[in-house]
Amino acid sequence: QAKSEGRNSYQYFNTDLTQQARERLSLEAQLRSGLQNGELSPYFQPQVDAASGQLIGFEALARWHHPEQGMISPARFIPLAEVTGLIHQLDLVIIRQAMLQFANWYTRGLNPGVLSVNLTVRHFQHQQFVTTLQQLMTDTGFRPEWLEIEVTESQLMTKPEAAIEVLRQIHQTGIRIALDDFGTGYSSLSYLKRLPITKLKIDQSFVRDLPHDEEDASITCAVIALADSLGLEIIAEGAETAEQVEFLLAHGCRQIQGYFYSRPLPAVAAEAFMLNDAGLIREA
Ligand code: C2E
Ligand code: MG
Ligand code: MG
Ligand code: MG
């Protein structure tokens, strides 16, 4: 009896896997065509100097408006894009639209600050990516000093040597580089000093339970002190409450991004945020 049960559950398991694989293949095909049909676009989340309430810039975050399924979350399509290699195209689709939007804002005399974009570390394994970036800026009328690239600590630390030279060249053109999700990726501290980076971005998992969680509070303070001693800028992500903002500010982290100030916004709403006092609008 045990044996037949075993065989049954094996069959269910097998069917489930096939179903899952089928769904993944279908989502992959839809992402491929969605990228071609312009279904993906950037939303913009404000980054704010909490001490003055001034806008510093916006992080571009990919959103997929699926014609039937509606809005699909990056949690679902970014990992898929990573494993299928579609992330190359996706990143370029998002950065191009975000650059066009920023160039448009600057041309109209507005000041959106710095554009932060998320790029997979794989781009930096190819020498020609520097040229790709320059071409993008020329095409869109975008300037290097307006750009900051976010690369996640865990991705960069997996194979730092392969990326470091290209990142250095990018940095030399005046583009800033931030280490995203910092604190989750096991950086060697001596290595950190040699990376061509300008900013650490404290991961939101440490910010979520501030100020009450003592461990998170000490990690946050340690990361702020580390950035300070290495001469790096520091920004915290995922701040949702006034208490969190106060804690961060009191401990030397002025740059803050999180729902407390605003969720990621479509371009029109980001423009409205920019035109108002950054501290006044909190929700989309
Ligand atoms: P990330 O770069 O660390 O971006 C921050 C994420 O935290 C975003 O999730 C943002 O919406 C969310 N967030 C911001 N403030 C708060 C807050 O106060 N509370 C909470 N609970 N969440 C907050 P999102 O937009 O879902 O993006 C998830 C991740 O997907 C990003 O994490 C980034 O790693 C990746 N991603 C998004 N767009 C792109 C892209 O164009 N290219 C690449 N390569 N990755 C992207
Ligand atoms: Mg990011
Ligand atoms: Mg992050
Ligand atoms: Mg993240």
The model's pLDDT over 82-136, given as tens digits with 9 standing for 90+, comes to 999 999 999 999 999 999 999 999 999 999 999 999 999 999 999 999 999 999 9
Confidence of residue 10 (pLDDT cuts 50, 70, 90): low
Regarding the beta carbon of 55 and ligand 1, being less than 6 Å apart is answered no
Q: Name the closest-CA residue to atom 20, ligand 1.
A: 238
Task: Judge whether residue 67 has pLDDT over 60.
Answer: yes
Ranges of beta strands (E only) in 107-169 are 114-118, 147-152
Regarding the beta carbon of 82 and ligand 1, being less than 6 Å apart is answered no
Regarding the beta carbon of 78 and ligand 1, being less than 6 Å apart is answered yes
Report whether 195 contacts 172 (CB < 8 A): no
pLDDT score of 251: 98
Closest among 167, 201, 163, 164 to 181, alpha carbons compared = 201
Q: Is the ipTM of this complex over 0.95?
A: yes
Index of the ligand 1 atom closest to the CA of residue 43: 25
Quote the CA–CA distance of 135 and 133 in Å, as a whole number: 5
Tens digit of pLDDT for each residue in 42-65? 999 999 999 999 999 999 999 999
φ and ψ at 281, to 5 degrees?
Answer: -100, 125
- pTM listed for this prediction: 0.92
pLDDT score of 22: 85
φ and ψ at 34, to 5 degrees?
Answer: -60, -40
Closest among 284, 260, 258, 259 to 271, alpha carbons compared = 284
Supply angle C-alpha 192, 194, 196, rounded to 5. 95
Quote the CA–CA distance of 136 and 99 in Å, as a whole number: 8
**CB atoms < 10 A from the CB of 67, how many?**
10
3 state SS of 253? coil
C-alpha 149 to ligand 2 mean position (Å): 9
Most confident of 13-17, 27-31, 184-188: 27-31
Regarding the beta carbon of 237 and ligand 1, being less than 6 Å apart is answered yes
Q: Give the DSSP letter of residue 73.
A: P
Confidence of residue 1 (pLDDT cuts 50, 70, 90): very low
3 state SS of 201? strand
Q: Give the DSSP letter of residue 121.
A: G
Report whether 177 contacts 199 (CB < 8 A): yes
Closest ligand (CA of 42): 1
Q: Give the DSSP letter of residue 84.
A: H
Q: Which residues are near ligand 2, the ion (C-beta closer than 5 Å)?
A: 118, 150, 180
3 state SS of 115? strand
Tens digit of pLDDT for each residue in 225-261? 999 999 999 999 999 999 999 999 999 999 999 999 9
Regarding the beta carbon of 112 and ligand 1, being less than 6 Å apart is answered no
Most confident of 14-28, 147-161, 168-182: 168-182
Task: Judge whether residue 277 has pLDDT over 80.
Answer: no
What is the average per-residue pLDDT within 3-32? Answer: 73
Closest among 179, 184, 204 to 258, alpha carbons compared = 204
Confidence of residue 139 (pLDDT cuts 50, 70, 90): very high
Tokens of 270: 């980001």
pLDDT score of 283: 42
Q: Which of 78, 116, 182, 261 to mutate to test the pocket of ligand 1 (most atoms within 8 A of CB)?
A: 78
pLDDT score of 41: 98
Going 266 to 48 to 87 to 22, the CA torsion angle's sign is: negative
φ and ψ at 237, to 5 degrees?
Answer: -115, 155
Regarding the beta carbon of 94 and ligand 1, being less than 6 Å apart is answered yes
Q: How many CA atoms lie within 13 A of 218 on its CB side?
A: 2
What is the biggest distance separating any 2 CA atoms in the chain, rounded to whole angstroms? 76
Tens digit of pLDDT for each residue in 199-234? 999 999 999 999 999 999 999 999 999 999 999 999
